[in-house]
């Protein structure tokens, strides 16, 4: 168990939600158990294809898995993140170099973009969430973009309006929250040197937001080693996987709306 950044930091969050981590490049935690499972074999096949083949062959590889019964949600939540984690593992074992990791990771992002339309449109009918909006962005100068990309597609799949980009900077975020339509701000944290800035950024965006019920969700690699980082940064909660993040987010937003007399959707 790691120690918190400061002994004065208190563990309970404002919404009493469990500390988890947003999916992230190379360190996304899969839900599969160790062992030679079909899911692991599929992830290894995808990873090796990304290292050796052009984009069309990578897409064909995944579509063939889907035809054999692998669900698109599993592809996004498990297969792709596990493949990214394998790149890191192989690099740490000197089986591939950093250039190969970079190229293969980029191909995975391309794959997510190519499959995103089908992934979003094949999701459940959640029209009641169409008036829920999330601003999902990386911490400025962060290089971890695959996890945030998957997270944004998952939110869209469940009917959220999603704004943001991996390259957004503070002025862009301020403009977005000043619209008053943003219910949730999601930030990925990957650089310990930026923690002080990020704490100030969250405070600034809360102050600038025209939505008094704005919720802040954080995640990223550092949450794996700093248990109470979300509370220290001034966020409301943190999360581990895209499906958990979406469910926790809608529950939290709905709770805030009920408190303000603006509840608008029945939770499933």
Q: Are 185 and 152 in contact (CB under 8 A)?
A: no
pLDDT band at 265 (very low <50, low <70, confident <90, very high): very low
Fold category of 38-121 in CATH: 1.10.1240
Domains of the chain: which residue ranges?
A: 38-121, 127-259
**Does the structure show a pLDDT above 70 at 110?**
yes
Whole-number pLDDT of residue 129: 57
Average pLDDT, the chain: 80
pLDDT band at 7 (very low <50, low <70, confident <90, very high): very low
pLDDT band at 125 (very low <50, low <70, confident <90, very high): low
Predicted structure pTM score: 0.79
Q: Beta partners for 238?
A: 218
Three-state DSSP state, 260: coil
pLDDT band at 143 (very low <50, low <70, confident <90, very high): low
**Does the structure show a pLDDT above 80 at 34?**
no
Mean pLDDT of 123-152: 79
Rounded distance between C-alpha atoms, residue 190 and residue 120, angstroms = 27
Mean pLDDT of 164-187: 89
What would the pLDDT profile of 50-108 be if each residue is shown by its tens digit? Answer: 999 999 999 999 999 999 999 999 999 999 999 999 998 999 999 999 999 999 999 99
Rounded distance between C-alpha atoms, residue 157 and residue 161, angstroms = 10
Calculate the alpha carbon distances from 131 to 66, 89, 165, 257 in Å.
31, 41, 20, 12
Fold category of 127-259 in CATH: Rossmann fold (3.40.50)
């Amino acid at each position: 168990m790691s120690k918190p950044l400061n002994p004065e930091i208190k563990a309970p969050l404002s919404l009493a939600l469990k500390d988890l981590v947003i999916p992230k490049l190379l360190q996304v935690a899969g839900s599969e158990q160790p062992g030679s499972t079909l899911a692991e074999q599929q992830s290894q096949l995808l990873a090796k294809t990304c290292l050796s083949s052009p984009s069309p062959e990578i897409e064909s590889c995944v579509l063939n898995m889907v035809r054999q019964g692998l669900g698109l949600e599993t592809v996004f939540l498990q297969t792709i993140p596990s493949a990214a984690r394998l790149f890191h593992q192989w690099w740490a074992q000197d089986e591939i170099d950093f250039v190969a990791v970079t190229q293969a990771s980029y191909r995975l992002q391309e794959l997510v973009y190519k499959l995103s339309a089908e992934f979003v449109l094949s999701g459940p009918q959640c029209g009641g969430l169409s008036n829920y909006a999330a601003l999902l962005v990386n911490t400025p100068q962060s290089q971890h973009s695959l996890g945030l990309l998957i997270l944004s597609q998952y939110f869209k799949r469940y009917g959220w309006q999603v704004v943001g980009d991996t390259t957004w900077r503070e002025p862009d975020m301020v403009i977005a929250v000043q619209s008053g339509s943003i219910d949730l701000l999601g930030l990925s944290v990957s650089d310990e040197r930026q923690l002080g800035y990020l704490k100030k950024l969250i405070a600034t965006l809360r102050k600038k937001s025209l939505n008094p019920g704005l919720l802040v969700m954080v995640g990223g690699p550092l949450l794996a080693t700093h248990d109470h980082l979300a509370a220290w940064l001034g966020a409301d909660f943190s999360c581990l996987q895209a499906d958990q993040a979406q469910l926790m987010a809608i529950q939290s937003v709905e709770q805030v709306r009920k408190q303000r007399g603006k509840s608008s959707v029945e939770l499933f």
